[in-house]
Amino acid sequence: MSKIKPSQGAPYARIMGVGGYRPTRIVPNEVILETIDSSDEWIRSRSGIATRHWASPEETVSAMSVEAAGKAIADAGISPQQISGVIVSTVSHFKQTPAIATEIADKIGAVKPAAFDISAGCAGFGYGLTLAKGMVVEGSAEYVLVIGVERLSDLTDLEDRATAFLFGDGAGAVVVGPANEPQIGPTVWGSEGDKSDTIKQTVPWDDYREGKVDKFPAITQEGQAVFRWAVFEMAKVAQQALDAAGISSDDLDVFIPHQANMRIIDSMVKTLKLPEHVVVARDVETTGNTSAASIPLAMERLLATGQAKSGDTALVIGFGAGLVYAATVVTLP
């Protein structure tokens, strides 16, 4: 018989607050057209993107995260000292070690929290949210800060006609804490590693270090393959998340998919047959694809503009490099 004492966490977990940070520089498509042979009309028709934000040298991964985190903590109505876990999802922090989460935790004033980074691409927020929920319910943390942050402008090949217009920078954060009723549903997540080459870094860092290539590594993708996978396979995952939460699309108030591409978003809405009353996040138009930051940034904007409100039921789904995915139903803070 086990002598281990059972965990004593909260019965459930919830998102208590949300915050976002977008860099001050707004980059229109005209800037992208300086380095690729295309047009504003083509970019908008293919992606729905009109502008994106690019970070200045001072707007580092850490600095953007601290700004977003501060807003999320204030929105949650707690103090930084109450944060006992910090999870950061990013692919654009260029130090292999230490985890940027430790630096962010210190800068926000958290006191010796568990702090670590995860790399799950555009599904990173969903992965972090699921881990945070587990920490709260298991009892290893009471309040967990989950941050999705990217400086993808550092990993964008401005001469690649397929991707130069896609990516933006920014940070989004949420605070996850205890709840007396279910407010974060079961997560449907997974990976399809046999398709990992469809979104990837162009070359490994050591190839660049050893001089095998002259061009700094960037993100590249097979656009059509990614589009088909996202539209058809991720709609199935989204439906599975609804089923796991025990609700139908009629019960939804808000749909917040990863802001990859407007055509993907619109196609998923059609495939899922979402009712007209469901508010759909389309932050990609002015923010671009910010990978792990896209869902919390879109969530923050919907709430700030009044398009969504506290207590709404939202389906969130992220998907990207790996190929990885994560979907769940949440109650908005």
Active site (catalytic) residues: 122, 258, 289
What the block records as the tokens of 32 is 């992208």
Under DSSP, is residue 270 helix (H, G, I), strand (E, B) or coil? helix
What the block records as the tokens of 316 is 């969130």
Under DSSP, is residue 326 helix (H, G, I), strand (E, B) or coil? strand
What the block records as the tokens of 101 is 């989460």
From CA 67, how far away is CA 59, in angstroms rounded? 10
Rounded (10°) CA dihedral 202, 208, 212, 215:
60
Three-state secondary structure string covering 283-320: CHHHHCECHHHHHHHHHHHHHHHCCCCCCCEEEEEEEE
Contact at 8 Å (CB) between 80 and 71?
no
Burial class (CB within 10 angstroms; exposed 0-12, middle 13-18, buried 19+) of 30: exposed
Say which amino acid occupies 272. L
The DSSP call for residue 6 is: P
In the Cβ-directed half-sphere of 183, how many Cα atoms lie within 13 Å?
A: 23
Nearest to 268 by CA among 325, 197, 194: 325
Report the DSSP pairing between strands 144-151 and 169-179.
antiparallel
From CA 317, how far away is CA 231, in angstroms rounded? 12
